[in-house]
């Protein structure tokens, strides 16, 4: 069943995972003034995005290499540009226009850093101040991954090294580096949270999952694990617990929590993918058209959630005196804008740039 799910042109469950991730981000940021534990879920949403990106990109690259014996890097980067840059610059243009119209100062340092996709390091070394582009650090991490990983993977494949072992080595190296920094510099949280070399294990775990899924023995192993509902409940509960009730210690957060989270997310992703190809209530929920649509527009929702959501929530909550109504209104407004952008801006621009190529 897992092999069937993976052989589909569009793997079921991936949009569900995207929808879950962006919903956690929006919920975490909306509730950050109410509860420090639930606000941590925003970070979990970002981690899910990282693991998913590693899995999806590596799967696409390995599939191309298996068929053609090479990877067309120019084509790969053209697809990434078409997928990510148009809506990012739309977001940037609207954000700066709003600041200018309200005569508010424009944070040019972070803005320029975000345009160059290095705002994660700008924040890591200058302080992560809140501004219009503060959440774009995660996009910078992903862009840096897209820039470096295809070439590194090609090098590994051409040298006939074991890709899975290389990825395990990367994960272990990141763990050691994060432990070292957390122990040696208690004030390094901004760097530990945002730098590529301190978050690369999350991406690498997704890459490792994609590499292992190409092996029949590992597919069978993962499929057997995925048939255990108790394991899914245990992983989900453990993931929620370590995210929301973990120690505030910098050593625990970056030494343990950040190491364990992707290792729990990866098998849960496999379970979701496998369930999406089956019958039953779980599959119906995973493949629900509305949830799938949220997954498709999740990138735009992530970009605009602060710009749209906080204002809508504040206005509605002030009139209804209800956080929950305010949150639902916020979520609906973000989704409505992202849907319009997806239909009338993102898809036409992407078709113009890459035609019918997969993104």
Q: Is residue 241 part of a domain?
A: yes
Over range 122-134, report the average pLDDT.
Answer: 90
Integer angstrom CA distances of residue 233 from 48, 177, 288? 17, 31, 21
Instruction: Say what the pLDDT of residue 337 is.
Output: 98
**Four-residue CA torsion sign, 93, 94, 100, 103:** negative
Q: Is residue 119 part of a domain?
A: yes
- Tens digits of residue pLDDT in 193-202: 999 999 999 9
Phi-psi region of 109 (alpha: psi -120 to 50; beta: other; left: phi over 0): alpha
Kindly tell me if the per-residue pLDDT of 359 is higher than 60: no
51: closest CA among 78, 21, 26? 21
d(CA 52, CA 354): 23
d(CA 4, CA 11): 9
Phi-psi region of 280 (alpha: psi -120 to 50; beta: other; left: phi over 0): left
129: closest CA among 190, 47, 182? 190
* DSSP symbols for 263-303: HHHHHHHHHHHHHHTS-SHHHHHHT-HHHHHHHHTHHHHHH
Instruction: Say what the pLDDT of residue 155 is.
Output: 94
Q: Which tokens sit at 172?
A: 């272990």
Kindly tell me if the per-residue pLDDT of 7 is higher than 80: no
- Tens digits of residue pLDDT in 277-328: 887 888 899 999 999 999 999 999 999 999 999 999 999 999 999 999 999 9
d(CA 16, CA 5): 14
Q: Is residue 359 part of a domain?
A: no
Q: 3-class SS at 50? A: helix
Q: Which tokens sit at 98?
A: 């709003």
Specify whether the CB–CB gap between 309 and 26 falls below 8 A.
yes
Contacts of 148 (CB under 8 A, 6+ apart): none
Matching residue, tokens 């990510």: 84
Q: How confident is the model at residue 357 (pLDDT cuts 50, 70, 90)?
A: low
Range of the domain at 167: 2-354
Q: Which burial class, exposed, middle or buried, applies to 105 when counting CB atoms under 10 A from its CB (0-12, 13-18, 19+)? A: exposed
Specify whether the CB–CB gap between 99 and 132 falls below 8 A.
yes
Specify whether the CB–CB gap between 118 and 138 falls below 8 A.
no
> What is the domain count for the chain?
1
Taking the CA atoms of residue 160, residue 163, residue 164 and residue 167 in that order, the dihedral angle to the nearest 10 degrees is: 140
Q: Is residue 54 part of a domain?
A: yes
d(CA 90, CA 103): 20
- Tens digits of residue pLDDT in 226-255: 777 788 889 999 999 999 887 778 988 999
Q: 3-class SS at 117? A: coil
């Amino acid at each position: 069943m897992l092999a069937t799910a993976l052989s589909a042109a569009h793997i079921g469950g991936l949009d569900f995972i995207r929808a879950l991730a962006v919903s956690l981000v929006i919920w975490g940021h909306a509730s950050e003034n109410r509860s420090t534990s639930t606000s941590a879920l925003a970070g979990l949403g970002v981690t899910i995005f990282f693991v998913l990106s590693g899995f999806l990109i590596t799967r696409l690259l390995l599939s191309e290499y298996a068929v053609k014996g090479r990877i067309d890097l120019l084509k790969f980067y053209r697809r990434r540009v078409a997928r990510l840059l148009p809506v990012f610059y739309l977001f940037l243009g609207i954000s700066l226009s709003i600041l200018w119209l309200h005569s508010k100062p424009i944070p040019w340092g972070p803005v320029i850093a975000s345009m160059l996709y290095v705002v994660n390091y700008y924040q890591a070394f200058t302080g992560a101040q809140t501004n219009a582009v503060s959440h774009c650090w995660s996009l910078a991490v992903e862009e840096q991954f897209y820039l470096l990983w295809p070439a590194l993977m090609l090098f590994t494949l051409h040298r006939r090294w074991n890709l899975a072992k290389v990825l395990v080595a990367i994960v272990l190296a990141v763990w050691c580096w994060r432990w070292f920094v957390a122990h040696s510099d208690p004030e390094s949280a901004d760097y530990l949270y945002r730098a590529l070399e301190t978050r690369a294990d999350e991406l690498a775990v997704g890459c490792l999952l994609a590499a292992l899924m190409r092996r029949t023995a590992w597919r069978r192993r993962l499929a057997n694990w995925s048939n255990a509902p108790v394991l899914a409940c245990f992983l989900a509960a453990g993931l929620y617990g370590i995210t929301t009730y973990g120690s505030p210690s910098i050593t625990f957060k970056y030494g343990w929590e950040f190491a364990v989270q992707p290792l729990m997310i990866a098998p849960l992703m496999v379970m979701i993918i496998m369930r999406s190809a089956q019958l039953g209530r779980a599959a119906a929920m995973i493949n629900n058209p509305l949830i799938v649509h949220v997954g498709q527009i999740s990138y735009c929702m992530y970009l605009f959630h602060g710009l749209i959501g906080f204002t809508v929530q504040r206005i509605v909550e002030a009139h209804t005196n209800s956080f929950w109504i305010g949150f639902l209104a916020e979520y609906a407004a973000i989704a409505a804008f992202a849907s319009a952008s997806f239909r009338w801006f993102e898809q036409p621009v992407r078709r113009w740039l890459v035609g019918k190529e997969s993104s």
